[in-house]
């Protein structure tokens, strides 16, 4: 699918990898982006930086059915279509199965991570796909592309990441059945499992901790550049034969237990 002039929904698009991808798609590829995020201040700043003709922001709770439907309706009202959905929104609340004094973790902690990272992802994917089905197929084949963001933690979760790893493994699990189903209407579904990236949050990490993170990366011996993530998204969108795939984007990193 050609990216120029296409409409791309990006959840978690007001910061980190999502924001970097929004800038890349607008500035490098000529797309229009709709940012779904809870942070209204950051979202409005992103629209100001990208230009109101190229971008819009909707404060969205991805785990809430009505919130996502309202956000999708807003995109259709402004841009008239959704061609691509990139699900970056997620939380990484870390906690152990057994906490202090050997007590079981509160179930609500686990449920919250599932609600955002997995239920929320399905919520946005399904409502975006409903709109993609209305598009005229490009080159007689494609009506839309979904990119769901997993994590290296889906494969090698660290201690304290049971909830996060479970949800990111769930993203991989829904990848193929969704691709098989939505392929019938010309919508491809893929996933990216990023490793360690130099996000603004990572840039603030103590030097000693940063060195320990870089030590886990095989080659190149550094954290990933956010533009490399955005470029991977564009590759998936533009290559019509990539479908039902999970791409590990991690410099051959294999995460340690702790």
Which positions are catalytic? Answer: 164
d(CA 143, CA 13): 22
Residue 242's nearest CA partner among 160, 181, 175, 195 is 175
Residue whose structure tokens are 């439907």:
69
Residue whose structure tokens are 């969108």:
237
Alpha helices in the chain (DSSP H): 16-27, 40-50, 65-79, 107-114, 120-132, 162-182, 207-214, 226-238
Using CB atoms within 10 Å of the CB of residue 167, give its burial: 0 to 12 exposed, 13 to 18 middle, 19+ buried.
buried
CA torsion 170→125→123→17, rounded to 10°?
70
b/e 55-77 (16+ beta carbons within 10 angstroms → b): bbbbbbbbbeeebbeebbebbee
Yes or no: say if 56 and 78 are a contact pair by the CB < 8 Å rule: yes
DSSP letters along 150-177, please?
A: --GGGTSPPTT-HHHHHHHHHHHHHHHH
The distance from CA 192 to its chain's CA centroid, rounded to whole angstroms, is 8
**Which 3 state secondary structure label does DSSP give 136?**
coil
């Amino acid at each position: 699918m050609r990216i120029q002039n296409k409409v791309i929904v990006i959840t978690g698009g007001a910061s980190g990898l999502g924001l970097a991808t929004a800038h890349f798609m607008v500035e490098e590829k000529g797309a229009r982006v709709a940012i779904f995020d809870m942070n209204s201040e950051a979202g409005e700043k992103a629209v100001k930086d990208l230009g109101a003709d190229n971008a819009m922001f909707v404060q969205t709770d991805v785990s809430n059915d009505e919130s996502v439907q309202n956000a999708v309706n807003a995109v259709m009202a402004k841009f008239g279509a959704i061609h691509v959905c990139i699900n970056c929104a997620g939380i990484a609340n870390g906690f152990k199965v057994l906490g202090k004094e050997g007590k079981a973790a509160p179930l609500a902690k686990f449920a919250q991570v599932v609600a955002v990272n997995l239920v929320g992802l399905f919520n946005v994917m399904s409502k975006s796909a409903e709109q993609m089905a209305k598009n005229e197929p490009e080159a007689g084949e494609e009506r839309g592309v979904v990119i769901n963001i997993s994590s290296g933690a889906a494969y090698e979760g660290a201690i304290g990441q049971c909830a996060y790893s479970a949800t990111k493994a769930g993203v991989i699990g829904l990848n193929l059945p969704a691709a098989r189903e939505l392929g019938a209407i010309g919508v491809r579904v893929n996933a990216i499992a990023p490793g360690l990236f130099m996000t603004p949050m990572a840039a603030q990490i103590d030097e000693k901790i940063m060195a320990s993170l870089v030590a886990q990366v095989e080659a190149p011996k550094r954290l990933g550049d956010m533009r490399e993530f955005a470029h991977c998204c564009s590759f998936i969108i533009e290559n019509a034969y990539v479908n039902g795939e999970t791409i590990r984007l991690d410099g051959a990193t294999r995460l340690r237990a702790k």
